[in-house]
């Protein structure tokens, strides 16, 4: 297979573009797609500071690499989730994030949930009776927003790629979660206590992001998060990849078709929900509930276990 | 051809020569879900692997926290 641009031997085929690229042209392709997404969706303006949500995985490290190469002032923020034993998943992913930051000479800020907030995702999510991925997403959403406000960043950039967005859309359509559909956008504007959130990787699939890291020599955590194994999101990705294999371009058509032709129908519901926002009395973050979801999570995740009623404890011993 | 697989880590020996795309099919994998790496270089589907080659089949799907665009 030859590179579509320069006719040198190709290293990767991208079937949805009916194209193949050599190493040099592939890196250029990835940067062009990120630059196009940033431009088309007005994600970041010249001179703005960007905080990149860094996990140590291929998407966030690849995104950070491209933003730096495109000339953006992009700092990283790593959130320690306390997943796995010492030297396990969280420690390993943190090491990849630190190594990348050092190699690029880029600032990396760190928040550690167990040290700074007194809970980790496995135990905290169980205590709060939330799914681990839900507690993790909630923690990230709150802490990245807060850190960006405090650090005077104009945007938070996340490594959500085309596959992520197509899978989330698939799940929301399957269940007609119309409130989520109204907010599934590549850019969520800032204001009223929110920093702008941008997803510059929406034009790149995760196979491209893994390939980008390989050709750029970026080491990242390949192992799947142990808390995510078997979740619905992974199932949606598998289903979409089965379709993509038969019909290349389906994921892109699904997601960008939604943005072009359907997204606006669901916006009023999302906008109406924003009208009920007020500051959380505990932390000041915007919320539509009495106390924000993050403060509720911290309270429940760090609370002492409820004492068991005597009758229930006896019944359990008998069984 | 020595084939290194991840999640869980394991090794297989498969008779060569064979094309990368045939190897992926034979392993029952979706070509959208993996990369094939020889040494530190990506190899596309039409490359022929010979006995003596070692390749890594790297999964590319990740599905951690799904950050639904909610309010904090």
Query: What ipTM, to 2 d.p.?
Result: 0.89
Q: Work out the number of other CB atoms within 10 angstroms of the CB of residue A77.
A: 23
Rounded to two decimals, the pTM is: 0.91
Token pair 């069984």: residue? A319
Percent over 70 (pLDDT), chain A: 95
Cis peptide before B8 (omega within 30 of 0): yes
From chain A, the residues in CB contact with B34 under 8 A are 207
Contact A184 B69 (CB under 8 A): yes
Q: Is beta strand B34-38 parallel, antiparallel or unpaired with respect to B41-42?
A: antiparallel
Give mean pLDDT, residues A211-215: 98
Nearest to A214 among B37, B59, B65 (CB): B37
Sign of CA dihedral A241, A53, A168, A137: positive
- Measured CA to CA in angstroms, residue A37 lies from A42, A53, A57, A129, A161 at distances of 8, 18, 21, 37, 11
Tokens representing A215 are 């050709």
Lowest mean per-residue pLDDT among A24-33, A122-131, A145-154, A212-221 = A122-131
Q: Rounded to the nearest 10 degrees, what angle do helices A23-40 and A58-69 cross at?
A: 80
Give the chain B residue nearest A144 (alpha carbons): B72
Q: What's the pLDDT score for residue B19?
A: 97
B66:A145 CB<8 A: no
Q: What is the mean pLDDT of residues A49-68?
A: 97
pLDDT in tens, A73-126: 999 999 999 998 888 889 999 999 999 999 999 999 999 999 999 999 998 898
Using a CB-CB cut-off of 8 Å, the residues of chain B touching A54 are: none
- Please check whether residue A25 is in contact with residue A15, taking contact to mean a CB–CB distance below 8 angstroms: no
Total beta-carbon pairs less than 8 A apart between chain A and chain B: 136
Closest partner residue to B72 (CB to CB) among A164, A233, A294 is A294
Asked if A231's CB is within 8 angstroms of B63's CB, the reply is yes
Residues in CB range of A87: below 8 A, 6 or more apart: none
Q: Is the pLDDT of residue A176 over 90?
A: yes
| Distance in angstroms (rounded) separating the CA atoms of residues A2 and A158 | 33
Residue B1, pLDDT > 90, answer: yes
pLDDT at A313: 42
State the Rg of chain B over Cα.
Answer: 15
Find the mean pLDDT for residues A176-184.
92
Helices A263-274 and A250-261 cross at an angle (nearest 10°) of 60
**Predicted pLDDT at A303:** 86
In eight-state DSSP terms, residue A288 is: S
Q: Which segment of A8-17, A54-63, A138-147, B5-14 scores lowest on mean pLDDT?
A: B5-14
The whole-angstrom separation of Cα A32 and Cα A38 is 10
- The rounded distance, in Å, linking the Cα atoms of A199 and A185 is 9
Q: Do A183 and B69 touch (CB under 8 A)?
A: yes
């Amino acid at each position: 297979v030859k590179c579509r641009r320069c006719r040198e031997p190709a290293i990767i085929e991208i079937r949805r573009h009916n194209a193949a690229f050599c190493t040099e042209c592939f890196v250029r392709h990835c940067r062009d797609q990120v630059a196009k997404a940033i431009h088309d969706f007005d994600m970041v303006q010249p001179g703005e500071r960007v905080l990149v949500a860094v996990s140590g995985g291929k998407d966030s490290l690849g995104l950070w690499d491209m933003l730096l190469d495109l000339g953006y002032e992009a700092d990283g923020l790593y959130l320690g989730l306390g997943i796995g034993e010492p030297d396990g998943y969280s420690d390993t992913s943190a090491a990849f994030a630190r190594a990348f930051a050092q190699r690029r000479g880029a600032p990396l800020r760190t928040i550690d949930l167990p040290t700074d907030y007194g809970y980790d995702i496995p135990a905290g999510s169980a205590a709060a009776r939330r799914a681990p991925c839900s507690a993790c997403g909630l923690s990230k959403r709150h802490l990245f927003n807060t850190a960006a406000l405090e650090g005077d960043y104009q945007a938070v950039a996340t490594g959500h790629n085309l596959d992520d967005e197509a899978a989330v859309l698939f799940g929301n359509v399957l269940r007609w979660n119309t409130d989520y559909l109204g907010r599934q956008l590549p850019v969520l504007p800032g204001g009223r206590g929110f920093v702008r959130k941008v997803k510059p990787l929406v034009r790149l699939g995760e196979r491209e992001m893994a390939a980008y890291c390989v050709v750029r020599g970026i080491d990242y955590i390949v192992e799947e998060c142990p808390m995510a194994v078997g979740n619905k999101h992974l199932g949606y990705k598998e289903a979409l990849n089965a379709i993509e294999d038969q019909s290349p371009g389906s994921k892109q058509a699904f997601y960008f078709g939604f943005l072009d032709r359907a997204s606006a129908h669901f916006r009023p519901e999302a906008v109406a929900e924003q009208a009920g926002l007020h500051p959380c009395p505990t932390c000041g973050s915007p919320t539509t509930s009495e106390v924000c979801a993050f403060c509720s999570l911290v309270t429940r995740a760090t609370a002492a276990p409820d004492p068991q009623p005597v009758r229930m404890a006896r019944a359990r011993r008998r069984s | 051809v020595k084939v290194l697989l991840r999640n869980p880590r394991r090794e297989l020996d498969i008779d060569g020569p064979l094309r990368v795309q045939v190897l992926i099919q034979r392993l029952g994998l979706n070509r959208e879900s993996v990369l094939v790496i020889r040494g530190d270089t990506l190899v596309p589907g039409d490359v022929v692997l010979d006995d003596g080659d070692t390749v890594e089949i790297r999964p590319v799907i990740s599905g951690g926290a799904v950050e639904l665009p909610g309010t904090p």
